[in-house]
Amino acid sequence: MFWLTLIIGLAGIAVALFLAGKRVFFLWNLFKSGQPAPDRVASVKRDPKADVEDQVTEVLGQRKLLKWTIPGLAHFFVMWAFFLLATVYIEAGVGLLFGLDAHIPFLHTWGPIGFVQDFIAIMCFLGLVVFSAIRIKNAPAKLDRASRFKGSHTGGAWLILFMIFNVIWTMFFYRGVLSAMDHLGFGKAAFGSYATGKLFEGLSYDTLEILASIGLLLHIGVALVFLVIVVNSKHLHIFLAPLNVMFKRRPNGLGAVQPVLKSDGTSLDFEEADPDEDLFGRGKIEDFTWKGFLDFATCTECGRCQSQCPAWNTGKPLSPKLLIMELRDHAFHKAPYFMATEEQQNAFTDEQKLAMEVDKPLVAEDGVIHPDVLWSCTNCGACVEQCPVDIEHIDHILDMRRYQAMIESSFPSEAGVMLRNLENKGNPWGMGEMKRLEWIEELDFEVTVVEDKLPEDAEYLFWVGCAGALEDRAKKTTKAVAELLHIAGVKFAVLGPMEACTGDPARRLGMEYLFQGMAQQNVETLNDAGVKKIVATCPHCFNTLANEYPQVGGNYDVVHHTQLLADLVDNGKLVPVTPIEENITYHDPCFLGRHNKVYKQPRDIMAKVPGVKTQEMHRCKDKGFCCGAGGARMWMEERIGKRINTERVDEALETNPDTVSTACPFCLVMLGDAINEKKSSGEAKESLEVVDVAQLLIKSIKAEVPAVAAE
């Protein structure tokens, strides 16, 4: 019996390892064929401590998954079962090679190890029950687009759950028989196996030996079949997730947009760039970096990104999950072609090329990615924030936009007006540069305008931004911030007509060369003026100045106005005294919140205003819902599905607010427009308004303005 078991076991292992190895070899070659991304390797070498921390918290600790408590806990135990039950397979391997009564001392005899093995196996089984219940409850057939599993390979998911179940029951079957034979080294400590062994009492030793051999082969066979399935399915993330976490962008995949990379992995210089030689974004699947291919292959199809995406939630075709899946499937189809030699490529038949999607465009109405999918993205970052394996969806979307915008000149026509205004007037509205000073005339104190150098007594340059200087609703925020700084005694100055758009709308649209030109011009202006510290009211300007301008030589200490104002309130330099008896709900701007993790300060300011009662919307902070303006969407028409700003205002109205507050001029405009529509239809009270947090603060402080100013 021993030799038969050994022969069958070794033959199965050889076949499974060959099939799995063949797939792994294909994946390895696919990743190697990707464009270089030297910064990813360099970041790991530069800060190995951060990588260790990420592996502990995200991979072993399941930090992101545990944000969703019930499915997170279920996954936690299933994942740890994968690690801990590997010791059971070591035990099975020893039994296969050396006989059923063979043990490795301590590993297969110390009671606590057997207890942990059985405990985690039972918890894994309960996790499978939870997963099954979640999938039944959220079945796409029942919920359609409301299901986060819409578009996922649900059949494959059920197969994996079945295979994990087979691992569990074959383990208890095999070890239960060993317990009945008195060959289980852990004794009663392996309580589950010991209890199972009671079922086999009374059978003859020969019968038990046959059952043990069958159980052993079944347990090993299930693992081998599981291995082959995993390397050919979405559950490849079992092995790839630690790698994807290792090579992710740090501190996270949000904030800065990455520069355009040349084929050698260095940043592209547009003055010397050659479209025939250099990559201007991603125009075909083989243009993606190896990290891109790693992202695609790591996707778990869990749909957390999809469930949080504002585009998907308002009936648009973009699902971050489906976009990654489509890129992955296309890469797998086309890989045999673009990894082949030119001679091999010429030998492929037309039918083979059709199957490999050789001529299928990356972005087109009949392409891998439909243009409506690409241009629906608001860059809100919900997908990246929620992804448990750190896929960087926005980076891939922007890289495809870059190719479409710069090479194909293909983007929503209305965005072209914005680009021309940026080129000709330095702002998206196309207004004259002197218009940037008009808001100052409405103040009753002087504001210093930089003419050459920033005055020595000016602590901050106040970066007003295009909206803050030119859009009537945003001007109210600008004046409030200026007045608050004046009251607090903070010296500041503005650039006035010397200020130009940071270039964020151009960059987020994909027009990278225009962004580079505007950024370099602004950095030259700021450096010549001797600017060191900047306060900005627009989160888009804040993000660009703080996180992206260092790419072009602009290194400044940048704060958002809510951060500075919260500090001034804490230090007693601003004292809100007049009660504002209102119910207020706060909307987190995506580029302030998720992209830069500023959640606390705006809320701290409101908490210090007497009388204010705050109530959170059900989607808030890192799960906040976009206003619809990011990713240059402010300058594009929203023709598909429900308007994102309307969806967000519907959520706000559920809190029955007197005021909706925010901390972004784009959010101010988008939410204001939606509220005005609600007022017209009678769905919102006429007194409801949208204001910046700074406006609430100045309203409460203003009674003390004369005294403080005089002091």
22-33 confidence digits (pLDDT tens): 999 999 999 999
Distance of alpha carbon 583 from alpha carbon 392, whole angstroms: 37
CB count in 10 Å sphere of residue 456? 7
Strand partners, 690: 660
Q: What is the pLDDT of residue 274?
A: 80
* CB contact at 8 A, 652 and 440: no
Strand order in the sheet with 448-449: 448-449, 492-494, 460-463, 533-536, 557-560
Would you state the structure tokens that stand for residue 252, as one six-digit string?
């996270």
Q: What is the pLDDT of residue 276?
A: 78
User: Rg (Cα) of the chain, in Å, rounded?
Assistant: 30
Would you state the structure tokens that stand for residue 621, as one six-digit string?
């902070």
- pLDDT above 90 (res 468): yes
Q: What is the pLDDT of residue 250?
A: 86
What is the average per-residue pLDDT within 424-445? 94
Q: What is the pLDDT of residue 100?
A: 74
Strand partners, 493: 448, 461
User: Quick one: what percent of the chain has pLDDT higher than 90?
Assistant: 87
Q: What is the pLDDT of residue 584?
A: 97
Beta strands in 361-470 (DSSP E): 448-449, 460-463
Q: What is the pLDDT of residue 129?
A: 97
Give 519 or 184, the one with higher predicted confidence. Answer: 519
Q: Concatenate the DSSP letters of all residues of 159-181 into one string.
A: HHHHHHHHHHHHHHHHHHHHHHT
Mean pLDDT computed over every residue of the chain: 93
Q: Concatenate the DSSP letters of all residues of 173-209 into one string.
A: HHHHHHHHTT--TTGGGSHHHHHHHGGGTT--HHHHH
Q: What is the pLDDT of residues 505-542, one digit of tens each?
A: 999 999 999 999 999 999 999 999 999 999 999 999 99
What is the average per-residue pLDDT within 264-281? 82
Q: What is the pLDDT of residue 101?
A: 75
Q: What is the pLDDT of residue 703?
A: 61
Q: What is the pLDDT of residue 79?
A: 95
- pLDDT above 60 (res 704): no
Q: How far is CA 187 from CA 350, 451, 679, in A?
A: 64, 84, 73
User: Quick one: what percent of the chain has pLDDT higher than 70?
Assistant: 98
- pLDDT above 50 (res 710): no
* CB contact at 8 A, 121 and 78: no
Q: What is the pLDDT of residues 130-179, one digit of tens each?
A: 999 999 999 999 999 999 999 999 999 999 999 999 999 999 999 999 99
Q: What is the pLDDT of residue 623?
A: 94
- Name residues whose C-beta falls within 8 Å of residue 544's C-beta, 6 or more positions apart in sequence: 502, 503, 504, 507, 519
pLDDT tier, 707 (very low <50, low <70, confident <90, very high otherwise): very low
Phi, psi of 333 (to 5 degrees): -70, -45
What is the average per-residue pLDDT within 249-265? 86
Q: Which of 81, 70, 97, 87 is nearest to 8 (CA)?
A: 97
- pLDDT above 50 (res 693): yes
Position of tokens 């081998």? 224
Q: What is the pLDDT of residue 1?
A: 63
